Amino acid sequence: RGTDVDPAVATTADEIAAMEIRGAATIADAAAEALAAQARASTAERPEAFRRELRDAAKTLYETRPTAVSLPNALRYVFRGMDGETVADLRAATVARAERFQHELAHAQSELGAVGANRLRDGDVVMTHCHSTDALACIEAALEDGKELEAIVRETRPRKQGHITARQLREWDVPVTLVVDNASRRYLNRADHVLIGADSIAADGSVINKIGTSGLAVTARERGVPVMVAAQTIKLHPDTMTGHTVEIEMRDEREVLSEAERHEIVGDADDAGDARGTDNDGDAGDAEDGADARGDENENGRDDGLTVENPAFDVTPPRYVDAIVTEHGQFPPESIVTLMRELFGETTSEPWNP
Ligand code: RUB
């Protein structure tokens, strides 16, 4: 981290990394807010120093989580409006631009909600995954139109963001059935829609969202339930127009398996080595025989033969998605690239060098 990064920026970055601030739209909002905080707090005397501070702040925020493109898109938006010849002008422009971003974000979400609500009929049952403010905006708008809805909410392992969705829906008085992720095929025959958000949407219309989304979409297709993705255009990933792929975040294994649970499976790592020290032919080998011989240390540097992987997101191919609902209307996934080109042009760059 650059030495001049404001503590408010550092705190926001830590909270994003720890998922205390989470969800693509909320992360984008917090990132814009943090850049404004950096601008307000800056003691830079020269414009170059101010710009360097803001760049360091942007990099600190950017490095927190890799998958939600709303984060670099938010940073890029603020940097595009950072005009001025003096520090005072730059400060004012940065703060104003960040505020405008936050305003547009909220506005886009409610516009998108109105579009999505048109797809929902009175009495429909909606199945959700994770917690998406864009998806919930569609439900909120439908409720405001006087429609009655029910929800089947997938728990969403390992972080259980389904609980946040369930809490919000209950506040709105929507009847909720909470199910474990594995139960969704059984409950899809009661659902009229699968409604999810997105962390990124690629130029080919692939939807990158919380792990488990792709399996849900495939099963929904098999059951004939339409899959609707609610995603503001800040979820469109401009780099994918030039062939880049979206990085899928791998998170700490302890979100899946605690130290105590690991111990229950493999025992003490050294004991495990001893246990595996018995060769196939029944000889008692030495303790190094097992794991070391196979050279399979896991990420924690352990050699107990148990690897836990914790991808936070997955990719749903466009053929399993019926509609992407944005603030500009709804699109079939295959045509999203046209909208991307209109909004972002063909050029991509680092967010702080727009
Ligand atoms: C959140 C997630 C959400 C999208 C969309 O993942 O996958 O579906 O971010 O949310 P995590 P929103 O909990 O790991 O951040 O519509 O609020 O932008």
Mean pLDDT of 104-113: 98
Name the 3-class secondary structure at 288: coil
Instruction: Say yes or no: 135 and 148 in one domain.
Output: yes
95: containing domain: 7-111
Instruction: Say yes or no: 259 and 145 in one domain.
Output: no
Is 23 a pocket residue for ligand 1 (Cβ < 6 Å)? yes
How many domains does one find in the chain?
A: 3
Residue to probe by mutation, ligand 1, list 21, 22, 249, most atoms within 8 Å of CB:
22
User: Which of the listed residues 111, 132, 167 is the one where a domain comes to its end?
Assistant: 111
Cα–Cα–Cα angle for 132, 137, 141, rounded to 5 degrees: 155
Contact 16, 64 (CB under 8 A): yes
pLDDT band at 155 (very low <50, low <70, confident <90, very high): very high
Nearest alpha carbon, ligand 1 atom 11: 23
Instruction: Say yes or no: 211 and 130 in one domain.
Output: yes
Nearest alpha carbon, ligand 1 atom 1: 23
Q: Which residues contact 252 (CB under 8 A, 6 or more apart)?
A: 310
Is 193 a pocket residue for ligand 1 (Cβ < 6 Å)? no
CA of 268 to the centre of ligand 1 (A): 37
- Residue 323 within any structural domain of the chain: yes
pLDDT tens per residue, range 43-92: 999 999 999 999 999 999 999 999 999 999 999 999 999 999 999 999 99
The confidence score (pLDDT) of residue 296 equals 53
